[in-house]
Copies of this chain bind each other. A is one copy, B any other.
Amino acid sequence: MAIPAHDVLRFGNQAKKREEGQSMGDVAARFAEIVGDANLLSGEAIPEDYAHDEALTTSAQRPAHLAKPGSAEEVAELLKAASEHGVPVTARGSGTGLSGGARPREDGLVISFERMNAVLEIDTENHVAVVQPGVTLSDLDEKTTEAGLGYTVYPGELSASVGGNVGTNAGGMRAVKYGVTRHNVVGLQAVLPTGEIIRTGGKTSKVSTGYDLTQLIIGSEGTLAIATEVIVKLYPRLPHGATVFAPFETFDEVMTVVPKIISSGLAPHILEYIDNLTLAAISYNEKLSLGVPDSIRDTAQAYLVVALENRDSDRLHSDVEELGGLLGDLGAMDVYVLEGPSARKLIEAREKAFWTAKAAGADDVIDVVVPRSAMPEFLRKAREMAMSREAGALGCGHAGDGNVHLAIFCKDTDKRKQLLTDIFALGMELGGAISGEHGLGRAKAGYFLDLEDPAKIALMRRIKESFDPAGILNPGVLFAERA
């Protein structure tokens, strides 16, 4: 395939808008020339799946074009062509996002990374993997296992792609010990809207030479640059693990236990809470039997799930014992140590909480983050806000991180928007943010615009412009037009 030679767009050039008389077909032909006919679809030929991600409140929208590039150079050519023709571009991983960040524009081009899905290198000396953005977490998990290492970001959905995780700065259950995506990505290859291909960071965990472009691109939801290669940190896999499960009578008790577990130095890699209704729902859906007697189940308001891991099985057992004692002292109604299969089932069921909520008819799912000490107040007030409007707000979350996942049940769109605005404002007042790991996408961008400091929004817009002066990368994501 011959890549046509074009002048590199100079910074400051506005992309030429599609001129009158220039048909969609011309643009499509250009894209097809770049990726090959077999890898470019237009109009009705594009499968419906590419019209949305998993956000519950973002309407589906089929894009005008879908390209499946095979290399960074092809991505660069696509961006140059899109800039010239003023075509908005949405990068897409596996489409598992929850905020509509991969929902394209009607006149847009979706760049899907399904062909760029190779694990390029597992580097056991530097403890990193170099991967293409379309690599799924399950694929990376499998490949790293062979080397005794692991990538520690587990956002629940293992079909998610690494590139998508970079876009939203995905988190997940193990973040309490290992951090979120931005703490585990040390380098990128990325394409700027100008078509320039840059490399940021590298196989090192520290660099101090100017602005950290890696960190700036992570979490930018495809609005600044498009990642075409990702270097992730790997950790040694610890062979011994145990999961402890403890019901509590009140939410406040669960939440006061959390900082004490962190202070203990036991360093759990999972520290989750699940409210009673959510546990009932996921247990029912996943046929999960945890052996909790009815008397406890009827009175427990929330449950804590704590997982420990160790190089050494004796140390693990003594840590589990210490943790059990701590939980008992701090008011747990009982403490269950789950063995291999039931522990795995509980964690898997917890990971599917989003699907359980969706199946139960949830109208939205949010992931507010607050300082963990503010979780009791946040949860109490958010539930009151919902109840006073005859709506529901329940769920589970990453207790160690103060990251609360709430399924919102409220059919009326306007009422729900007001409820969400109030809950988000509450989270921000308590020192938190609208999203801990799902991102803003299109679904939460309007709330962000309404609630965030205008000076920060203006600054972010200027940063956006410094990367993408023509505004072709994922317009409508992060920076909503006010509804």
Residues in chain A within 8 A of chain B (CB atoms): 11, 123-128, 148, 168-169, 171, 175, 179-180, 182-183, 192, 196, 198-200, 202-213, 215-216, 218-220, 224, 236, 238, 259, 262-265, 311, 315, 369-373, 401-403, 431-440, 444, 448, 452-453, 455-460, 462-467, 478
Contacts and interface: CB of A to CB of B under 8 A. Distances in A.
Contact of A126 (B209, B371, B456, B457): B371
Nearest to A402: B204
Given A123-B373, A372-B125, A205 B459 contact: no
A208 B169 contact: yes
Contact of A466 (B179, B202, B465, B478): B465
Contact of A218 (B171, B212, B434, B456): B212
A265 B236 CA distance: 6
Nearest to A214: B215
Nearest to A431: B202
A452 B175 CA distance: 33
Contacts of A125: 259, 371-373
B215 A440 contact: no
A277 to B, nearest CB: 25
Contacts of A238: 265
Nearest to A315: B315
Given A265-B236, A462-B466, A466-B459, A431 B204 contact: yes
Nearest to A167: B208
A136 B202 CA distance: 31
6 contacts: A125-B373, A182-B215, A208-B438, A209-B440, A210-B478, A213-B459
A456 B262 CA distance: 40
Contact of A460 (B179, B205, B211, B433): B211
A215 B212 contact: yes
Contacts of A464: 211
B440 A210 contact: yes
Q: In the assembly, how many copies of this chain are there? A: 2
A211 B204 contact: no
A436 B206 contact: yes
Contacts of A458: 11
A204 B127 contact: no
Contact of A208 (B402, B437, B455): B437
Given A212-B216, A456-B198, A433 B207 contact: yes
Given A198-B456, A199-B453, A433-B202, A124 B263 contact: yes
A372 B212 CA distance: 20
Nearest to A168: B208
Given A125-B259, A262-B127, A466-B459, A216 B219 contact: no
B436 A208 contact: yes
Contacts of A440: 208-210
B401 A434 contact: no
A25 to B, nearest CB: 32
A437 B209 contact: no
A216 B211 contact: yes
Contacts of A215: 182, 212, 215-216
A41 B104 CA distance: 57
A199 B211 CA distance: 19
Given A123-B371, A124-B263, A209-B433, 8 more contacts: A11-B458, A198-B455, A204-B372, A204-B432, A207-B436, A210-B220, A211-B224, A236-B264
B206 A212 contact: no
